[in-house]
Chain A
């Protein structure tokens, strides 16, 4: 399952020239909207740029089953062998070195000098290789998503888009106090609508994700986007949300870990990235493997180059830059108290009821009083600052 928007990544063009002209995508994203939602009101911040409207586009919405099929055909053209319907059950070991994988079939041993484990968020292979420890619920978020069909013209009209322009919308304050958020992504003739919920917070809440989803699509701004849309598909997936601190050891004798399996995924509240990190990490894993073959050396020491490459690139640099955002994203107030506060302030700014108007400082102070303590507010501002500003 994929949200989602694939941010532009130059690495893709290194693999396949004119990658983004050939790849099957749905819309190119020119507009990013952040909604802060309260029970009866919502405040939105919308960013749109003409520079995102000319190639190379800044981000794309796409369908993974279609995109992956295309990419795998390109890989096969370049000489790769694709084996589908082969669940990797275990690693093959030669002493303490990894020497391939076992797939759940007769004669299912696939031997290899080096394995690149891209087995997704739960990566049982990284666990078996001793590269990661057990997960804890606070490191993970559940994403639930429904795909709705809607005429292209209606999508363009409702999101104020033209041609293949696309928009992404994130929603804060729509999760009944559970840490997480909602989203809408526009595809050509469909909308991906869903929520991301931190597992520890979901567990504590005692609530069903699909009922929270039902509530979410009932919020006024969401409901209007979805009017007349018909349900097409429903899916669920986990997201690694532990940030830099969750990244496991990335290499061992005969194996590398990439993508979600290496927890290469982050959000800082404004950016949500994963697929570009996965693609880039796969690319760097491939470079490392090519080097290893040149030297005939598949030892942990040789393969440690992979980590160096990731550290020099945006992949681990970005994850490190937003290392502290993990604690910001675990601040409960961000998901209910603050969106409500912002909406209380906005409502008083705009309300006309015959009473004398007040300046924003006074409105703000009254909106905070009784809802957020001074200490919490200062602590959260510092946390937000450290995560995003300095």
Chain B
């Protein structure tokens, strides 16, 4: 499967502060959890055990899909600090 390798080919310069913050109180009331499947970098996972969204900002491709599909305003969304984030070589 190409998908298994897809996420391995990008390089990132990760800032210690997340550029997106998730308000878990709002997420807990969400019925569709669209971020968990629509995010092309799979940054959002629903943890059944902890009843919350597990969010990793490090592999974010900075596309904005989560911001657009979240209809509850649970995200404080910014681009990473200048010089940080995903580094596309050719695309």
Where the two chains meet, the residues of A that have a C-beta atom closer than 8 Å to any C-beta of B are: 1-2, 63-66, 84-87, 89, 103-105, 121-122, 135-137, 140, 142, 144-147, 190, 192, 199, 202-203, 206-211, 213-214, 217, 231-238
B80: nearest residue on chain A (CB-CB)? A87
Q: Contact partner of A142 among B2, B38, B91, CB < 8 A?
A: B38
Given contacts A87-B79, A232-B90, contact A208 B42 (CB under 8 A): yes
B88 contacts A137, C-beta separation under 8 Å: no
Which residues in A have their C-beta under 8 angstroms from that of B82? 84-87, 103-105
Q: How large is the interface on B (under 10, 10 to 19, 20 to 34, 35 or more residues)?
A: 20 to 34
Q: Does B83 contact A (CB under 8 A)?
A: yes
Residue of B nearest to A187 (CB): B90
A233 to B37, CA, bound (A): 21
Which among A63, A89, A104, A144 is the interface contact of B40 at CB below 8 angstroms?
A144
Q: How far is the CB of A82 from chain B (nearest CB, A)?
A: 13
Whether the pair B81, A233 counts as a contact (CB closer than 8 A) is: no
Q: A245: shortest Cβ distance to chain B, in Å? A: 17
The distance in angstroms between the C-alpha atoms of A12 and B17, with both chains bound, is 40
Cβ of B67: which chain A residues have Cβ within 8 Å of it?
122
**Contact among A104, A136, A145, A238 for B91, CB-based, below 8 A:** A145
Contacts of B38 in A (CB 8 A): 142, 199, 202-203, 208-209
How many A-B contacts if CB must be within 8 Å?
110
Bound CA span A80–B47, Å: 50
**B12: Cβ under 8 A from any A Cβ:** no
Interchain CA distance A234-B3 in the complex, whole Å: 10
Q: Is the CB of B61 within 8 A of A235?
A: yes
> Which residues from B are CB-within-8-Å of A232?
9, 90
A-B CB contact pairs (8 Å), 7 listed: A65-B91, A84-B83, A105-B82, A147-B91, A203-B38, A211-B3, A213-B6
Question: Are the C-beta atoms of B91 and A64 separated by less than 8 Å?
Answer: yes
Nearest-neighbor residue (CB-CB) of B65 within chain A: A142
A234 in contact with B68 (CB, 8 Å):
no
Q: Mark B62-81, 1 if CB is under 8 A from A, else 0.
A: 01110111000000001111
Chain A binding site: helix, strand, loop or mixed by DSSP?
Answer: mixed
CB contact under 8 A between A231 and B9, given known A65-B88, A104-B81, A190-B90: yes
Q: Provide the bound-state CA to CA distance between A237 and B61, in Å.
A: 8
By the criterion CB–CB under 8 Å, are A238 and B65 in contact?
yes
- Choose among A103, A213, A235 the residue that contacts B88 (Cβ–Cβ < 8 A): A235
B89 to chain A, nearest CB (A): 6
Find out whether the CB atom of B40 lies under 8 angstroms from the CB atom of A1.
no
How many angstroms between the C-alpha atoms of A292 and B10 in the bound complex?
43
A203 touches B69 (CB 8 A): yes
A190 to B91, CA, bound (A): 11
Given contacts A64-B91, A135-B68, 4 further A-B contacts (CB under 8 A): A86-B82, A103-B82, A147-B90, A238-B64
- B34 to nearest A CB, angstroms? 5
